[in-house]
Amino acid sequence: MTPHAGPDVRAGAVHPWTVRVYWEDTDAGGIVYYANYLKFFERARTEWLRTLGLQQQALRQTSGGMFVVGEAQVRYLQPARLDDLLRIETRITALGRATVTLEQKAHRQDPDGLTLLCEGRVRIGWVQGPSLRPARLPEAVVRALGTAADMEQESR
Amino acid sequence: MTPHAGPDVRAGAVHPWTVRVYWEDTDAGGIVYYANYLKFFERARTEWLRTLGLQQQALRQTSGGMFVVGEAQVRYLQPARLDDLLRIETRITALGRATVTLEQKAHRQDPDGLTLLCEGRVRIGWVQGPSLRPARLPEAVVRALGTAADMEQESR
Amino acid sequence: MTPHAGPDVRAGAVHPWTVRVYWEDTDAGGIVYYANYLKFFERARTEWLRTLGLQQQALRQTSGGMFVVGEAQVRYLQPARLDDLLRIETRITALGRATVTLEQKAHRQDPDGLTLLCEGRVRIGWVQGPSLRPARLPEAVVRALGTAADMEQESR
Amino acid sequence: MTPHAGPDVRAGAVHPWTVRVYWEDTDAGGIVYYANYLKFFERARTEWLRTLGLQQQALRQTSGGMFVVGEAQVRYLQPARLDDLLRIETRITALGRATVTLEQKAHRQDPDGLTLLCEGRVRIGWVQGPSLRPARLPEAVVRALGTAADMEQESR
């Protein structure tokens, strides 16, 4: 299996999360600085994981491991500005033994609808211990993610 | 009048706002990086201003001016950690013709109560136009802040 | 022409730039937060542009336009830690009428050599005026980039 | 002794450090975001400590402790803009058994001289172990700081 979902992978449900654009997010161009979408995406992933019962601080204390990002791809379509309300969508598209791949989108949430601003794909792995050596996802994590994704787990 | 509230200033009501600590907020010490409390404070001020009907992006377009911070004082009492839920309190303590002074506090919001982590005082001024020259607060702003503060406006 | 360099594109020379990892760059995992490599990359691009005689603040004042990132792809291979010295390499791989594509790498700079930590590809476009409408790169920019890249400019 | 230098404290020499303003540092107001001066200050403190032979990552591994900021006061006088070159000055003003107090200034470095943009006072303490319990500064740290400061160490 490739880290990115093939056509036969039934992707998980979309998890929506909302955030406002504050001064800190913008730059002198008057728009959200490009790296900050990765912050929005990470916050949304954290909240998505929490809906699955996974709290990363607790996970780390019990398992000694943590998620790390292995790859991120982002396309910037339209700029966001101060005070915009953004809807960040997170959707699992592939689950392997050692990695999870997510599709994430940032929309501007206007009274009359959504405008897609930015979309990305993020592949996340698991590392163990102080050495941060790559490792298989803990069973509990796989179970939680697999359930959420409502898709067959694939070996990788 | 000094920029900081004297004893006879009836301070405004506390505006509460909640935020979670994400990975981006922490540093290798395992705690929230000290500068990031100023981000939390600014977000909370933005939401507080919105409850008063003041939207900064719109203000800037209509008035050509914006708020800038003139002074910030922060005391760090206890560290916040990943996944902590923080309650940021904002309270106006003085309102002059050209500046607003706020008291802001960050508490950790535990099931059994609040723990004060960090408290600050922020003095904010107004600047006008591309030159960013200091100026009096616009009338609409003073009115909104004055109402919220439920306190007598003082000349400065 | 695709936005990414084809095999016949003679890529530009590598521009090196060095930066230390500070507390702000790290997270509670003890490593550099994934979004912050995009900050390092952007700083390195700024310094690379300056070596070509392009200063972005001045460019904006004279041309009314600015660069914006259209796409970013990042692979994270090894983590960076507090106090690490990073060597950020920037290399132009494609130049179109409206976009520039760069390859960027972050190495840890140890006494005994370099270790590749992170590599990315960033496609940058140009936007004009307050509307931020996509536009062709200004002639002066194309000339500076084309010279630096020592490659034939391709239409796109 | 108070945490802030009294008149009889011979303050240390000024440590200068230079940094450019990049896009990430600015906000939609076209100026450096107020919290980011605390980042500049922290980077400058790190480089200052390194000149004294103190590397924080190594310190933490050998001593199990680290510096934390206890208090920060910042006054913002003039804004910095994209591409500005800033000179950050760091100077020790008090050294106690458990805290160090520093004065830090950010100047814009123009061809014709320096313009003071922002000045701050930062009190730093030491915490030990996973509990982050406040503790006395390690002997090696006190010695390095005391020498640098060229001032008598005061009990506190």
How confident is the model at residue C31, as a pLDDT?
A: 97
Residue D34: what pLDDT? 98
Quote the longest CA-to-CA distance of chain A.
49
pLDDT score, position D130: 86
Closest Cβ opposite residue A55 in set B24, B47, B83: B83
Catalytic one among D25, D27, D83, D150? D27
**Euclidean distance between CA atoms D26 and C115, whole angstroms:** 31
Tokens found for residue A35: 């790296």
Q: Collapse the DSSP code of A68 into the 3-class scheme (helix H, G, I; strand E, B; otherwise coil) and give the result.
A: strand
Q: Per-residue b/e over C111-146, b at no fewer than 16 CB within 10 Å? A: eeeeeebbbbbbbbbbbeeeebeebbbbeebbebbb
**Residue B8 backbone dihedrals phi, psi, to 5 degrees:** -90, 5
Task: Retrieve residue D90's tokens.
Answer: 């760091």
DSSP state of C11: P
Tokens 């990002």 belong to which residue? Answer: A69
Structurally, at CATH architecture level, domain C3-155 sits in Roll (3.10)
Q: Is B27 one of the catalytic residues?
A: yes
**Prediction pTM value:** 0.91
Q: Which backbone phi and psi does D147 adopt, to 5 degrees?
A: -65, -45
pLDDT tens track, chain B, 156 positions: 334 433 333 467 999 999 999 999 999 999 999 999 999 999 999 999 999 999 999 999 999 999 999 999 999 999 999 999 999 999 999 999 999 999 999 999 999 999 999 999 999 999 998 899 999 999 999 999 987 665 444 444
Residue in D41, D89, D47, D88 with CA at minimum distance from that of residue D69: D41
What pLDDT digit, counting tens, does each position of C84-103 carry?
A: 999 999 999 999 999 999 99
pLDDT in tens, D4-47: 433 333 467 999 999 999 999 999 999 999 999 999 999 999 99
Nearest to C22 among D43, D58, D81 (CB): D43
CA-angle at B39, arms to A89 and B112, nearest 5° = 80
Chain B residues with at least one Cβ partner in C under 8 Å: 23-24, 26-31, 33, 35, 81-82
Q: How many whole angstroms separate alpha carbon A129 and alpha carbon D14?
A: 41
Helix (H) or strand (E) holding C136: none
Mutate to test the interface with D, among A20, A21, A22, A23 (most CBs of D within 10 A): A23
Distance between CA atoms of residues D108 and D117, nearest Å: 7
DSSP string of B29-75? TSSB-TTHHHHHHHHHHHHHHHHTT--HHHHHHHHSEEEEEEEEEEE
Q: Which chains touch C (3 or more CB pairs under 8 A)?
A: A, B, D
**Domain map of chain A by residue range?**
3-155
Which chain A residues are closer than 8 Å to C38 by Cβ?
34-35, 38
Choose the closest CB to A76 out of C35, C36, C70: C70
CA D138 to chain centre: 18
